[in-house]
Structure 1
C-alpha cells in the first residue's frame, strides 16, 4: 500500500512539474530531462508512469484543468450568492492571481492550442476535452443564473458559455501583450455585467 501511495505521489509531482514547465517553456521547449530533474526521478523510471512525452502532456492537460473546474463548481455551489455573482467572483479571483504572477503564463490550454494542436493528436484530444469540461461548467453556471433571473434568456446558456470561454482565452493573450489585466477586467465587465445581464 505504501509503495502504491508513493508511486501516486511521484506521479502527481511529475504532473505538477509538467504544468510548470509546459507553461514556462511550451511543449517543444520542455524535455523529459528537465521534467525528471525537477522531481528527482531517474530517466528510466519515467516510463513506469507514462508511455511517452505525448501521453504525459495529455495527462498534464487533464491535471491542469481539474482545479479550475473544481473551483468554478465550488463557487457556483455557494449558497449565499447567486450564480451570476459567483461567476463574477470566480473570474475576479483568477484575475487577481494573474496580476499577482505579473501576467506570466496565461492559460496552459491556450498556450498549447497555439503551439501543438495541429501536430499532436494525443494532446489535441486532451485539449478538446479540457476546453469542453470548462465550457460545460460555465454553461451550468449561466443556466443557473438564467433560472435565477439575472441572465438573459433569449440566448442559450451554451452559446453564452462558448462566447465567454472563447473571449477569456483571447483576453488572456491580450493580457500577455499588454502586461496588464485590463483586457480580462474589460471582458468580465462587458459580458457578465453587461451583455449577459437580464
Structure 2
C-alpha cells in the first residue's frame, strides 16, 4: 500500500471518528463500527493507530484544525475590524449549530466532560487543542485592542480564555434549550458588551 493510500485511510478514519465521537461519545463508539463504516478490516486499525485512546487523541487534533483555519480566515480579512471578524466567525458557528438542529455541540467540550480526567493522553490532546484555539482567539482580541474597539484594561490572553470558556458553556446550554439564544447571548454580551472599549 502506498503512503498516499495509508494517509487517505487514516484521514477517513479520523473524519469518521469525529462524526461518531460527536454523535455517540467516546464510550459509545466502538472500533468495529468505526472500521466497518470506513471499509477497513478491524485488525488493520492498529496499523494506523496504536489504541482507541491514541486514535481519540488524534481525532481531537483533526477536529480543531478546521475551526482554527476558519477563524484565521476571518482574522486575515483587512476590510473589517477584528470585532467584526470575530462576530462573523461566531455567526457562522451559530448558523451551523442551527442547521444541525442543535446536535453535537463541540467535540472538545463533549470529550472534556466524558473522559477529560480519565485519560492522560486525551487530556493532553484536549488541553493542546483548547490552547491552540485560545491562542488564535487571542490574536483577534489583541488586534481589536490595537484597533481601539476592545478594552485594554484586561489581558488579551485572559479575554480569549474567557471567550473559550463562555462559548463552551453556551454550547452546553444550547443543547438542552434547543435554541441558539445562549449562543447569540454569548456573542452579544461579550463582543458587543463586556469586551467593548
Q: TM-score range by the shorter chain?
A: over 0.9
Aligned counterpart, 2:37:
38
Aligned counterpart, 2:179:
180
CA distance in 1, matches of 2:70, 2:117: 30
Aligned counterpart, 1:65:
64
Q: How does 1:162-177 map to 2 (within 5 A)?
A: 162-177=161-176
CA distance in 2, matches of 1:141, 1:24: 31
- The number of aligned residues is 197
TM-score by length of 1: 0.98
* Shift of residue 111, structure 1, vs aligned partner: 0.3
* Shift of residue 3, structure 1, vs aligned partner: 1.2
Aligned counterpart, 1:146:
145
Q: How does 1:43-192 map to 2 (within 5 A)?
A: 43-192=42-191
CA distance in 2, matches of 1:122, 1:29: 19
Query: Superposition RMSD on alpha carbons, in Å?
Result: 0.7
CA distance in 1, matches of 2:44, 2:80: 47
* Shift of residue 79, structure 1, vs aligned partner: 1.4
CA distance in 1, matches of 2:169, 2:159: 15
* Shift of residue 196, structure 1, vs aligned partner: 0.3
CA distance in 2, matches of 1:142, 1:164: 10
* Shift of residue 33, structure 1, vs aligned partner: 0.3
Q: Gaps spanning 5+ residues in structure 2: where? A: none
TM-score by length of 2: 0.99
The runs of 4+ residues in structure 1 deviating greater than 3 Å are: none
Deviations along 1:122-143, one digit per CA (max 9) or x if unpaired, are 1000000000000111111100
Deviations along 1:121-176, one digit per CA (max 9) or x if unpaired, are 11000000000000111111100110011100011111111111000000000000
SS in 1 for 2:2: helix
